[in-house]
Chains A and B, each alone.
Chain A
Amino acid sequence: MSFALRAGETLGLVGESGSGKTTTCMSIVGLLPRAARIVGGSVLFEGEELTTKSQRELRAIRGRRIAMILQDPMASLNPLFTIFRQVAEPAFFHQRLRGRSLRSRVQHLLKAVRIPSPEWRMREYPHQMSGGMRQRIVGAIALAGGPSLVIADEPTTNLDVTIQAQYLDLLKDIQRETGVALIFVTHNLGIVAKMCDRVAVMYAGKIVEQAPVRELFDDPKHPYTRALLGSVPKLGNKDPLYAIPGQPPNLASLPSGCAFHPRCPEALPRCADEEPIDFHPGAGHAARCWRLDEHAAASHGRSHS
């Protein structure tokens, strides 16, 4: 799979749960569980290859140049440490800030995520704060090392809707101020429409379609993307919601050919045996589906490269 993004840009990574979104994110920063490993491909970050780096080198990148906001911000704060300490850690270890400069850095960060009276709040413990507040703290931690890329893994799933909207606005504001690139992992297409410049749709561990956000919504090329879009409720639409039949496949035992073919309403015979390659139906638009292979309609049975 491949995707690229520039400074200040936001990429949305969408897919059903279990499609490998989180694993992809963790593999970028080299923190995969023991059972998983990267078998091929590359991660290029600011011109550097990350997959070949040692854990030691990666540690210098994590938190400093690439930061992450986790799925459950409520659980990602250590209950026994003060807010100050947790926000300060990246700046302490990466920028080697100490004493007063560290204090003012933390205050600045907390102000940036709209925590009221930071000099007071930073002495408190996580359980003394509300859910929305804790989540903004997690945001401050992500910014603490001054990263150029922040990966946000479903950061709003556990929040109620109004706080969700506030948080998304906050992230956008911060992005505008700092020019940080953002990878936004979600299964919520509404958030994608609101937040992202580009979208990559994942299915069974692979990106099956990638396009600028408007184009993807207006002219989805992959049947899976169409199915996803069809399952979003729209106001005023009386049509019944389209649900994708079947279950997402188990990543340990993928179907042959195109992984989506058992659930695909438009599957061709070749989809069961041949893994589709990338097609480029438009500028900056890529999709992996044999349906796009017009030229294959004529010359059938060409093996993929």
Chain B
Amino acid sequence: MRLAPPMSIRSRREAPLAAVVILAALVLVAIFADLLAPHDPTLPVPGANVFDPPFWMEGGSTAAPLGTDFQARDILSRLIYGTRVSLIVGLMGTLVAGAIGTLMGILSGYIGGWVDQVIMRVTDAWLALPAIVFAIFLAAMIGPSMWNIIVILGAVYWTRYARVIRGEVLTLREREFVKLAEIAGASKLRIIKRHILPNVANTAMVLASLTVGVVIIAEASLSFLGVGVPPPQPAWGLMLSEARPTLLAGQWWLTVFPGVCILLIVLATQLFGDWLRVKLDPQQRNL
């Protein structure tokens, strides 16, 4: 009896092409919104009525290819500018959360003792509230603006980083190169900068890639409830909120298009994040 050698598991997964293409396209759209958008997103389209349907439907025109909203503004232009809001909030919010969380995680894991206790209890308290309830609460209390939303979402979503990074640091702390640096008399700050931070960077990146989508949906939710990005800024969540009164009249395009945009961007970031996790973290620990 002879056995076949074990099949080699696919060792290297290619980057998900669709996700990369969508992300790249969305980034370009956000950067060149001024060039791409046919109309000013905050002003009515000249000559158009309110609630014009998309161009392929009866009564639609190519002046506003995806139709107009309750103020006769061009949906397409608003979607294009909305990409900017979503990406800025998604990336900046993730950055703020990642910065706070990584810092807290390192302090908690490396210094230990009462610092660890305090940070972990605060983390527990934060996690005790559903993130979206916490975010709504903060947004309602602090007041709506795009930059407030970024800070708020950062302040809500840092805890996941803190927990994971802390666990990572706890094992790093026991590794030889850290011990050696300690014996050599390196300061704590230096050890954190030279040895800890570079080694948790991968984990932080994977977490970040998986957080962006969550933050984007959170922003859309807040804007939808009227505690996020304030009008007349073109944010997708806000567009959905403005579409609500027309929902029962069957003006579906006002609801469908912004939602599809959110879906696409989140789907692409999730796919990319999954790929990054496998690539940077071959053991596939559960992050």
Contact of A27 among B1, B5, B9 (CB under 8 A): B1
CA distance A38 to B2 in the complex (A): 6
Cβ-defined contact, A23 with B8, below 8 A: no
CA distance A40 to B9 in the complex (A): 22
Kindly state whether residue B198 has any CB partner on chain A within 8 Å: no
Kindly state whether residue A179 has any CB partner on chain B within 8 Å: no
Task: List which B1-35 residues lie within 8 A (CB) of chain A.
Answer: 1-9
Nearest first, the 6 closest Cβ-Cβ pairs linking A and B are: A41-B1, A35-B7, A252-B5, A39-B4, A40-B2, A35-B6
Q: Which residues of B contact A24 (CB under 8 A)?
A: 1, 3
Task: List which A240-273 residues lie within 8 A (CB) of chain B.
Answer: 251-254
CA distance A91 to B79 in the complex (A): 67
Contact of A43 among B1, B6, B7, B9 (CB under 8 A): B1
Q: Pick 22 A–B contacts, CB within 8 A, sort by A.
A: A1-B2, A2-B1, A27-B3, A32-B3, A33-B6, A35-B6, A35-B7, A35-B9, A36-B4, A36-B6, A37-B3, A37-B4, A38-B2, A39-B3, A40-B1, A41-B1, A205-B2, A251-B6, A252-B5, A252-B6, A253-B5, A254-B5
Q: A2-B1, A35-B9 are in contact. List 15 more A-B contacts (CB 8 A).
A: A24-B3, A32-B3, A35-B6, A35-B7, A36-B4, A36-B7, A37-B3, A37-B4, A38-B1, A40-B2, A41-B1, A42-B1, A51-B1, A205-B2, A254-B5
Q: Which residues of B contact A230 (CB under 8 A)?
A: none
Q: Which residues of B contact A42 (CB under 8 A)?
A: 1
> What's the least CB distance linking B3 to chain A, in Å?
6
Contact of A38 among B3, B7, B9 (CB under 8 A): B3
Task: List which A1-49 residues lie within 8 A (CB) of chain B.
Answer: 1-2, 20, 23-24, 27, 32-33, 35-43
A36 to B, closest residue via Cβ:
B6
> What's the least CB distance linking A25 to chain B, in Å?
11
Q: Which residues of A contact B2 (CB under 8 A)?
A: 1, 38-41, 205
CA distance A240 to B2 in the complex (A): 37
Cβ-defined contact, A23 with B3, below 8 A: yes
CA distance A114 to B2 in the complex (A): 39
Q: Which residues of B contact A37 (CB under 8 A)?
A: 3-4
The listed residue with most A CB atoms (<10 A of its CB), out of B1, B4, B6, B7, is B1
CA distance A40 to B4 in the complex (A): 9
CA distance A121 to B5 in the complex (A): 44
Q: Which residues of A contact B1 (CB under 8 A)?
A: 1-2, 24, 27, 38, 40-43, 51
Q: Which residues of A contact B8 (CB under 8 A)?
A: 252
CA distance A1 to B2 in the complex (A): 7
Q: Which residues of A contact B7 (CB under 8 A)?
A: 35-36
B5 to A, closest residue via Cβ:
A252
